[in-house]
Amino acid sequence: MSSSERKQIKVGILGATGTVGQRFIQLLSTHPYFVIHALGASSRSAGQRYGKVTKWKLNTPIPKEIGNMVVQECKPDAEGFKDCGVVFSGLDADVAGEIEEAFRSANLIVFSNAKNYRRDPLCPLIVPLVNPSHLSIIPHQKKTLGLEKGYIVTNANCSTTGLVVPLAALEKAFGPLQTVMVTTLQAISGAGYPGVSSLDILDNVVPHIGGEEEKIEWETNKILGGLNSDNTQFDLHSNESVKAINVSATTTRVPVIDGHTGVVSVKFSKSPAPSMEEIDRAFREFRCEAQELNVPSAPPQAIVVHDAPDRPQPRLDRDLHNGACVSVGRVRPCPVLDVKFVCLIDNVRLGAATSSIMNAEIAVEKGLIV
């Protein structure tokens, strides 16, 4: 069934006025079958028109019909949410835990960008270009909680997402990885709005983002790991029963609006390591399930490999394939580990809203959203 033939599915957006929420709206307003039906925000905004209460920060205007919608509180019984086939959450972590749980308990399906349930042993943590197979734990999640319909799916931290896509390509081609070192140069939009004060970042680098390094080091292993045979438990990176990847991350903030850059070194388990040509080819030839399923948000290339020695660059490359792919460049030998390269992700699209949406599209294909 092609996207244009699918019948429309009503969707809700939690945290609709925030940075990620705005991206959900921008992306969903032209979606072939998801139709924005309910917008949730804080009680301060509830009851008012979206266009009036939102400090819209994107360079495309608020879609007119969305601007006129009345914002609801983030409660499952607020008008509209009950009819939604899926609810996307762009909520901040300090409120996401309770609200998402309330929606799930009300038998709603939540695809969340928040971190709260990423480490939950019942919740899949899915990067749509990497591990949609983890959706198979959903029946177990529903059963454990005694829910007929409701469940939560999370997507990964934005910088983790940019990292695991090329890592997945390497694992797919060459087997388990042993060691990964990554330094990120992250955009200000990753911190939301108002987020990073301009006095902190103009003509500056902030070499610390709270909690971010632990997220990268931990999430990478859940995402690249497997499920046990009856789909009831994640093996933290149990790909072929190997031990976890040893990940060391340092995260920094730089004066870039959108686009997280990662400087990565990798050591393979197998020895001798593949050649640079083999690695380059593995990146270029990487195909993933989202592409096989041909879901609407899947990019034509999951990884774009750049030949120019000074690419990828956030300002020039973040918009490739509508921000739904990962750029990779500078693939070359690492004197310490095996290979080093640079990767780039659009942190607010594939790193956030696009991942949630693509995850839901895949769930639709798999019959998990109806």
Active-site positions? 158, 260
153/331 with CB nearer a second copy: 331
Determine the interface stretch with a second copy among 25-33, 93-101, 173-181, 271-279 (rule: CB under 8 A): 173-181
Choose among 142, 125, 117, 366: nearest CA to 234: 125
- To a second copy, the closest distance from the beta carbon of 306 in angstroms equals 10
Task: Decide if residue 99 touches a second copy (CB under 8 A).
Answer: no
171/361 with CB nearer a second copy: 171
Determine the interface stretch with a second copy among 21-29, 114-122, 129-137, 198-206 (rule: CB under 8 A): 198-206
With CB under 8 A as the contact rule, the residue among 185, 282, 358, 364 that binds a second copy is: 185
Task: Decide if residue 199 touches a second copy (CB under 8 A).
Answer: yes
Residue with tokens 């019942």: 122
172/311 with CB nearer a second copy: 311
Q: Which of residues 200-239 bind a second copy (CB under 8 A)?
A: 200-208, 210, 217
- The three-class DSSP label of residue 234 is strand
100/346 with CB nearer a second copy: 346
Peptide bond before residue 194 is cis, with ω within 30 degrees of 0: yes
Contact 17, 53 (CB under 8 A): yes
163/320 with CB nearer a second copy: 320
- To a second copy, the closest distance from the beta carbon of 232 in angstroms equals 29
* Residue ranges of E strands in 23-176: 34-41, 72-73, 86-89, 109-112, 151-154
- To a second copy, the closest distance from the beta carbon of 198 in angstroms equals 4
Half-sphere exposure of residue 171: CA atoms within 13 angstroms, side-chain side: 27
Who's near 54: CB < 8 A, 6+ residues apart? 16, 17, 22, 45, 62
Alpha-carbon radius of gyration of the chain: 20
Tokens found for residue 148? 């007929």
Reported as type and span, the H/E element at residue 208 is none
With CB under 8 A as the contact rule, the residue among 232, 252, 269, 291 that binds a second copy is: 252
Q: Indicate the Cα dihedral angle 72, 78, 83, 88, nearest 10°.
A: 50
Question: Which residues are at the interface with a second copy (CB under 8 A)?
Answer: 19, 57-61, 179-181, 183, 185, 188-189, 193-208, 210, 217, 246-248, 250, 252, 254-257, 261, 263, 265, 309-320, 329-330, 334-337, 340, 342
